[in-house]
Amino acid sequence: MILKALDSLPRRRNKLWKLETVVDTESSSHPLWNTFQLDLEKVTNLEGLTEVRDSYLGRQRGLVALEMRKLGQFPPSERPEAGRVLNELKNAVLKALETRQTELKKRRDESRVREERIDTTLPGYNFKTGGIHPIRRVWREMEDIFVRMGYTVVVGPEIESDHYNFEALNIPKGHPARDDQDTLYINDTLLLRTHTSPVQIRTMEQHQPPLRIIAPGRVFRRDSVDATHSPMFHQMEGLVVDEGITLADLKGTLEVFFRELFSEETRVRLRPSYFPFVEPGAEVDISCIFCGGNGCRVCKRSGWIEVLGAGMVHPRVFSMVGYDSERYTGFAWGMGIDRIAILKYQVDDMRLLFENDIRFLSQF
């Protein structure tokens, strides 16, 4: 029904025509009608329309109301006709205002829809996604290699006692090794651990051999921050204790590990060194992963890069945890996770790993 009614309307979309229609259907012979129509034509928004409505239909000062009041001045014979003409004017004005209001509202709604429309063709925002920090990434990779070799991951407290951090590791008070490690003390007996080695003591106290563990974690030293130092860094400690463990096992283990971590071509060499808790002790180098051992800037033309300290567990350490040092032998090593990350990702400044600048981190 409605569709049919719409179809029967003339297909003209001229707004002026609409106004004319209003005039044609509802009009008035009163002289104010023409003035009203001119005023109405000037209206462009709903506020303007209210003003026109008030000036014509206002109860007190509206022009139509004023005309009504003049009715009494007409001779009685002309009064009914004058009243009819005025009523006609009032109705025509009402009708015209209503039509115009509908039109203006529609126009306002249309422009609002236009302004508020969402352009679905615009490219969307990219949400920033997190990634795994390079230290944690290397940490996991290192853990993974050792776990596959049958190692167990153990952890210990970061706040340690002097006993576990030094004494039990064959570093008694007054030992020069205590000076090497600028320790951050909490009080006379507590400190922030300077290495992850206390974890091997704690583990050996609770478990009998055979033992095959790695202990990763944060360690602290009173170092100033520069390209190669940080007061907080990460270490991974390894310990194997069993009957008949030799230095060859240590070297073989590290070879397998570094070949897995870097490449099949990586070679490992041990240089004699000293650490209080091992005997013999060794510095461990790997063939330069950048030049393959030919010599470059990173390895200072030597073809080798120092990566960790290791050795055979000192019999005195064993006796302190109650192991029979005649029956058991073992090896231990400790390496910096940050140092490995620096080598693996070829980062030339350790500070980059701790500043957590998103521009740096997003490269991994």
Per CB under 5 A, the segment of 40-48, 236-244, 282-290, 306-314 that binds Zn ion is 282-290
Bridge partners of 336? 235
Which one, 201 or 286, has the nearer CB to Zn ion?
A: 286
Taking phi first (over 0 means left), then psi (-120 to 50 degrees means alpha), and beta for anything else, what does residue 271 get?
A: beta
Bridge partners of 241? 211, 330
Decide: is 296 part of the binding site for Zn ion (CB under 5 A).
Answer: yes
Per CB under 5 A, the segment of 48-56, 85-93, 269-277, 288-296 that binds Zn ion is 288-296
Decide: is 290 part of the binding site for Zn ion (CB under 5 A).
Answer: yes
Amino acid at 120: T
d(CA 108, CA 100): 12
Question: Could you say which DSSP state residue 228 is in?
Answer: S
CB of 296 to Zn ion, least distance (A): 3
CB of 268 to Zn ion, least distance (A): 15
Q: Contacting Zn ion (CB under 5 A), which of 154, 288, 307, 317?
A: 288
Residue nearest to Zn ion (CB): 288
Q: Contacting Zn ion (CB under 5 A), which of 64, 97, 254, 299?
A: 299
Per CB under 5 A, the segment of 201-209, 224-232, 262-270, 294-302 that binds Zn ion is 294-302
Which one, 140 or 300, has the nearer CB to Zn ion?
A: 300
Per CB under 5 A, the segment of 27-35, 142-150, 160-168, 284-292 that binds Zn ion is 284-292
Binding mask 28-67 for Zn ion (x = CB under 5 A): ----------------------------------------
- Residue 307 dihedral angles phi and psi, to the nearest 5°: -120, -25
Which one, 91 or 294, has the nearer CB to Zn ion?
A: 294
Per CB under 5 A, the segment of 174-182, 194-202, 229-237, 287-295 that binds Zn ion is 287-295
CB of 289 to Zn ion, least distance (A): 8
Of the candidates 20, 13, 54, 56, the one whose C-alpha atom is nearest the C-alpha of residue 36 is 56
Positions of E strands within 267-354: 268-273, 278-287, 304-313, 329-336
Which one, 94 or 291, has the nearer CB to Zn ion?
A: 291
Per CB under 5 A, the segment of 12-20, 61-69, 109-117, 291-299 that binds Zn ion is 291-299
Bridge partners of 286? 268, 305
Let me know: does 331 contact 317? Beta carbons within 8 Å: no
- Beta-carbon neighbour count of residue 77 at 10 Å? 7
Q: Which long-range contacts (CB under 8 A, 24 or more apart) does 85-88 make?
A: 85/28, 85/29, 85/30, 86/30, 88/28, 88/29, 88/30
CB of 358 to Zn ion, least distance (A): 31
Which one, 135 or 299, has the nearer CB to Zn ion?
A: 299
Q: Please give the full DSSP string across 191-226, using - where no structure is assigned.
A: EE-SSSTHHHHHHHHH-PSSEEEEEEEEEE-----S
Decide: is 262 part of the binding site for Zn ion (CB under 5 A).
Answer: no
Residues that bind Zn ion (CB under 5 A): 288, 290-291, 296, 298-299
